[in-house]
Structures are given as C-alpha cells and as structure tokens.
Amino acid sequence: MGIAVLTMKASVIEMFLVLLVTGIHSNKEMTKKIKRPKFTVPQINCDVRAGKIINPEFIVKCPAGCQDPRYHVYGTDVYASYSSVCGAAVHSGVLDNSGGKILVRKVAGQSGYKGSYSNGVQSLSLPRWRESFVVSEGKPQKGVTYPSSLTYSSSKSPAAKAGETTKAYQSPSAPGTTAQPVPLMQVLGTTAVEGTHTTLPKPPPSAGSTTSSLRPQPVGQRSQELAGEPELWKPGSVLLDAGFVPKKELSTQSLEPVSQGDPSCKVDLSFLIDGSASIGKRRFRIQKQFLADVAQALDIGPAGPLMGVVQYGDNPVTQFNLKTHMNSRDLKTAVEKITQRGGLSNVGRAISFVTKNFFSKSNGNRGSAPNVAVVMVDGWPTDKVEEASRFARESGINIFFITMEGASENEKQYVLEPNFANKAVCRTNGFYSLSVQNWFSLHKTVQPLVKRVCDTDRLACSKTCLNSADIGFIIDGSSSVGTGNFRTVLQFVANLSKEFEISDTDTRIGAMQYTYEQRLEFGFDVYSTKPDVLNAIKRLGYWSGGTSTGAAINYALEQLFKKSKPNKRKLMILITDGRSYDDVRIPAMVAHHEGVITYAIGVAWAAQDELEVIATHPAKDHAFFVDEFDNLYKVVPKVIQNICTEFNSQPRN
C-alpha cells in the first residue's frame, strides 16, 4: 500500500514537471510569435527633395538611375534640402547608380553650399538655404525608431499621390529616442478650436471722432480722418458673424497645450506697421486687429512661423522681435499693448532698419526659415522706398506691400515716388502687393496674405538672373589677338554687360586682361552704374604678349572673386583665341570648387578640349566657340539665356 502511494505521488510529480516544461516551452514559442514586427523601409523616387519630407531622421530605399543630371543636387557633403535625396546619396558616394538604402539626417541651414563633381554627379553651388541634410549608410542607430512611412509637407507629395497617409509633424518629447513624428492634432487634443478669433477691445466713443495731427500737406498726405465715415465695419464684428469665437468664450483654452506652430509655414516674419500721425487712432486700432487676426491664422510657434513687429513714423522702432513671443495668444496680447508713435511715414527708412537690424540671430532669426517683411502703408510714404527695398531683397528678404486708401487723382501730385509699391517689390504680378481701397476692408486680406507668406516655394523674389551676380571678365590680350580684334572683344564684353542691371546692390562688373602676366583693369567695387562700366570697358588698352590662361584664372580668383559679396552669384566669363601655354586643369577645378560658375568663350585657334575643361559642367551649356572674332556677337543671347536658365533652375529664398 505504501509503495502504491509512493508510486502514485511520483507519477503526479512527473506529470507536474511535464506540464511545467511544456508551459515554459509554450511561453517561449509565444514570445517568438509576438516578436516585434520587422521594420519596413519606405521607398522614394529619385526626384524627391529632402525639404518635402518633414521627418528629422529617416531611412529610405532609393531606386536605380538617380545619377541622372535631371535630379538636381546642391552642395558637397552637407546638402541643401532642395536637393534630390537619392541624387545627394550618389554624389556623396554612399550609393552608386544601382540604388539602395540610406540614412538621412536633417541639420541646420548653411550660409553657402559649394558645388562639386563627384561619383558621376555634378552638384551645384547655392548662396544660402534654410535647411540642410547629410546622408550615410542605411544602418539603423541604436535607440532610434525610424518611421515605416514618411511625413510630407503637403498633400502634393509623392507619398500622397501613391495613397500614403501624410501627417503633420510634432517634435518628439524625448530627443534621440524616436524619429517617428506625432500627429499634431493628437498632441493638441480633440477640444482644440479651429479658426479661433479674438477681438481687441473696442475704442471709446470719442476715439472715432478725434482728429489726430496730420502729415504736413506739402508732402501730400490726406487731411481727413474717419470720423465722418459710416460704421461699415467694427473690428472683429464680421469675423464673429462668420463663426469665430469671442474672447470671453476662450477662457478654458488657457489650460490646453500650447501649439508648437504650423510646420508647413516655417517663416521668419516682420510686420512694418504704420504709426504715422495721419493714420489716426481708429485706423491704427484696425491695423492692430489685422495683426491679431494674422497671428491667429498663422499659428505662431517654434516649429512654424515666428513674427515680430516694427512700428514706423519719423523713425522705426522694434515693438518685439522674432523670439519674444512663441505662440499666437501671447503675440496677440503684445499687439494689443502697442501704442501709436505719430510722426511722418518714412517707409524707406523703416525698410533699411529692418534689413540692417531685425533679421539677426540675436533677434531670433533662425537661418533655416525664409525672411519675410510685410510693409503696411496708409496712403503713401513720405520718403523713397525703391533703393531700400532693393537692398532688402539683395539681403534675402522677401518684401510684401499692403497699401490702404491710395492717392486720388488730386492727391497724386503730392506723392514723392509714384508707383512706389511696384518699385519696392521684385515682381509686379500682384503676388507681392495687396491694395486695399478702404480700411474697413482690410480684414478680407488676412487669408490671402497668410496663403502667400506660407507659400515658401514662391518666396523667390529676392534676386533675378540679371540683378544678383558679380561678373568677372577674363580677357585674352595675347599677340595673336591683334589690336582690331581686341576692340571687337571689348564690344562683346560691353554687349553682355548691357543686359544686366548694374549697381552697388544689383549686378557688379569687374575685368582683367592677361598675356604671360595679368592686369586687373577694374574690380567689382569701382563702377556702380551701367554707363560708367561701359565707358571703362571702352577705355581698356590692348596689352599683347603670350597666353597663360591657367595663371589668369588663379589671378582672377585672388584679385576679383575674393572680393565678391557673399550673397552674389559668382560668374567668370573667359574669352581666349588660343591654347594656353600653362596648365588650366587645376586652376579650373579650384574655380569650380569655390563656386565660381565659369563660361569659356573660344575664338579662332582656341582649343575645344581646353574650353570644356575650363567651363563649368555641363560643358555644352558653358563652353562656346566661334570661328572668327566678328561672330562673337552671335554668342551674346546664348550666354545670357544660359545664365538665366541656370539661375531659374536653382531654389531661391
């Protein structure tokens, strides 16, 4: 009996052990089955630019064939985000033309990008861009989760066309732990109010009837105030009727998370508001309400647009800069506290002030976002704006003008600078200027302005192909040219120069002549008008001697292009009639590396292979040959066309 009991107990223990082992084995199998799903690498096309992808760090698979020159690349090692992602990977040597996986990481924008020829890809130079990226082998980093689907900046993205869901980007709260963007509305919660509008306090009854001191009549400012005009619109009333929420209904919003801003509208924005005496208190309040409405519509935040305000009268003053307020709510409160300064309407002085002082790093300028200045003008300025605006555009600032209640036929005689708005903006197609007939209609401009300011692909008016270069002419003065042909060469140089807008802030011209030796005829900073440049070209004397083209290129880089302005495109136009006595390959490579775009013009006995070495890649667009000097004039339109085609193919902010 005892033996039977012991045998039974042993059997029970054996069954328990079997079940225990089986359970452990089953748990292991289940653990294997619930293993984390395998990471799927997103695929992109060769034409996808890094700037269209919002993710700060991601792994993608590139197809074959991205070495094609159709896919533009800007920079070397560090690339402007306007570049093809896969084209940059081939240029950097991470991929070959057969494609593969790469790791892309976004970095800050650069003040300049140097083009180079590498791995079968010719990258281009770019003076400045708001965002950059680097590429490396497609190996995941430890502790980082990479997205299986990419987030694009607009619904027009390649992913959206293919049916992939796009998401708004929010930076992760724990840096370095994940590269997966969080949907913005998920962060803000479902209680967020869209299109929220708050109104500034209405002025006291006397505000509308008070007549402020007026601008001096000799400079042509209006002498009437709005006191006698009908109450067509009260600040905030129309927008409230359209379904916007009044301020008292927003008290619960203060407890909600503050927005990080709209990432699809990342711009650094300065408003230049009119605080002159003739605008009056009532118009000034309408102007402030307009600023509040724009701030609300923009969704201010560190990941999106930032906004500062400068008020002008006799002299401009910064009310607050880009880094003062990091959300729309705080910014609107600051706008409410702005008081009118009075004085004249010196708009040109205000634009110069903004160009020199506002868009600095200390004031919150990010460098990776386009600079935009919106100038609000009541009537017309009391100083000139054309030169100040041109300098602002040359400094990379996109100028918008909003003009209210322009001069009537009787008042036009007082306007200091007719058509001042068209002279201030770089294109007169209506995109950069908005004319408002009546102050009561200003609120209708909010959405059109916001749409244009946020359309960063069209913020390209700072420069044109004819007003943004430093052009250095390298002229062969060797004995084989001869006195008569040398005059023909000078005429060719003059004909090219005539096509450009020449001034201190527009295109600048320099010239040198070479034989065995080199001579600087005049630098970029000597002549600032077209007549002066043309007269200087006409006065050049023929030198005569040998032909050392390589040494001439080195001399030009040292004596001409080292003094070029950082925001200028550097163009070298070399004219020669024979083969060089020295090597041109290394000097030409140095020029290309330093971002100098080189055009080589050969005449008569010039060597075609040498012209192609000197010229920027592709040579077919930068090297030209004519059989005799009298045919040089035929090259002028081709050179101008190619200069402008190349310029227009590059992104500008």
**Is 229:266 a contact under the CB 8 Å cutoff?**
no
Confidence of residue 653 (pLDDT cuts 50, 70, 90): very low
Do 98 and 72 reside in the same domain of the chain?
yes
Question: Which of 71-80, 178-187, 349-358, 454-463 has the least mean pLDDT?
Answer: 178-187
Is residue 183 included in any domain, yes or no?
no
Tell me which residue of 367, 275, 261, 282 sits closest to 313, measured CA to CA: 275
The residue whose two tokens read 């084209």 is 87
Is residue 82 included in any domain, yes or no?
yes
Domain harbouring 297, CATH code: 3.40.50.410
Task: Write the single-letter amino acid at 518.
Answer: Q
Do 418 and 474 reside in the same domain of the chain?
no
Is residue 555 included in any domain, yes or no?
yes
For residue 249, pLDDT beyond 50: no
Element (H, E) at 531: helix 530-538
Share of the chain above pLDDT 90, in %: 55
- Expressed in angstroms, the distance from the first to the final Cα of the chain is 97
- Give the residue with greater pLDDT, 82 vs 14: 82
For residue 652, pLDDT beyond 50: no
User: How far is the C-alpha of 239 from the C-alpha of 444, rounded, in Å?
Assistant: 10
**Is 57:144 a contact under the CB 8 Å cutoff?**
yes
Confidence of residue 216 (pLDDT cuts 50, 70, 90): very low
Do 473 and 603 reside in the same domain of the chain?
yes
Domain harbouring 131, CATH code: 2.170.130.20
User: How far is the C-alpha of 613 from the C-alpha of 396, rounded, in Å?
Assistant: 33
For residue 586, pLDDT beyond 90: yes
Do 504 and 596 reside in the same domain of the chain?
yes
Tell me which residue of 145, 137, 169 sits closest to 39, measured CA to CA: 145
User: How far is the C-alpha of 88 from the C-alpha of 73, rounded, in Å?
Assistant: 6
Which range has highest mean pLDDT (150-154, 221-225, 579-583)? Answer: 579-583
Question: Which of 206-215, 267-276, 607-616 has the least mean pLDDT?
Answer: 206-215
Do 433 and 486 reside in the same domain of the chain?
no
Burial class (CB in 10 A: 0-12, 13-18, 19+), 230: exposed
Show Cβ contacts of residue 506 under 8 Å, excluding neighbours closer than 6 positions.
390, 394, 466, 467, 468, 500
Tell me which residue of 374, 292, 290 sits closest to 333, measured CA to CA: 292
Which of 85, 113, 137 is a domain's end point? 137
Is residue 129 included in any domain, yes or no?
yes
Show Cβ contacts of residue 421 under 8 Å, excluding neighbours closer than 6 positions.
377, 401, 403, 433, 435
Do 339 and 367 reside in the same domain of the chain?
yes
**Is 57:105 a contact under the CB 8 Å cutoff?**
yes
**What mean pLDDT value characterizes the chain?**
80
**Is 485:524 a contact under the CB 8 Å cutoff?**
no
Question: Structural domain of residue 352, as residue ranges?
Answer: 268-458
CA neighbours within 13 Å on the CB side: how many for 484? 3
Is residue 163 included in any domain, yes or no?
no
pLDDT of residue 425: 83
Do 403 and 494 reside in the same domain of the chain?
no
pLDDT tens across 363-387, in order? 998 877 888 999 999 988 989 998 8
Interval 522-543 mean pLDDT = 95
Interval 230-235 mean pLDDT = 38
pLDDT of residue 405: 86
Element (H, E) at 614: helix 608-614
Total structural domains within the chain:
3
pLDDT of residue 450: 94
Phi-psi region of 240 (alpha: psi -120 to 50; beta: other; left: phi over 0): alpha
Which of 137, 172, 193 is a domain's end point? 137
Tell me which residue of 235, 455, 402 sits closest to 335, measured CA to CA: 235
For residue 122, pLDDT beyond 90: no
User: How far is the C-alpha of 152 from the C-alpha of 208, rounded, in Å?
Assistant: 48
Per-residue tokens: 296: 């609300």
Q: Which residues on adjacent β-strands are paired with residue 124?
A: 74
For residue 179, pLDDT beyond 90: no
Do 447 and 482 reside in the same domain of the chain?
no
pLDDT of residue 116: 86
- Give the residue with greater pLDDT, 392 vs 557: 557
Do 381 and 488 reside in the same domain of the chain?
no
Which range has highest mean pLDDT (147-161, 383-397, 421-435, 532-546)? Answer: 532-546
**Is 411:451 a contact under the CB 8 Å cutoff?**
no
- Give the residue with greater pLDDT, 181 vs 479: 479
**Is 50:21 a contact under the CB 8 Å cutoff?**
no
- Give the residue with greater pLDDT, 241 vs 330: 330
Is residue 86 included in any domain, yes or no?
yes
Do 306 and 399 reside in the same domain of the chain?
yes
Which of 72, 105, 137 is a domain's end point? 137
Q: Which residues on adjacent β-strands are paired with residue 371?
A: 268, 397
Is residue 599 included in any domain, yes or no?
yes
pTM, two decimals, is 0.42
Burial class (CB in 10 A: 0-12, 13-18, 19+), 118: middle
For residue 171, pLDDT beyond 60: no
Is residue 238 included in any domain, yes or no?
no
pLDDT of residue 209: 36
Per-residue tokens: 436: 């408002």
Interval 467-476 mean pLDDT = 93
Do 491 and 426 reside in the same domain of the chain?
no
User: How far is the C-alpha of 406 from the C-alpha of 34, rounded, in Å?
Assistant: 71
Tell me which residue of 435, 501, 438 sits closest to 471, measured CA to CA: 501
Do 450 and 518 reside in the same domain of the chain?
no
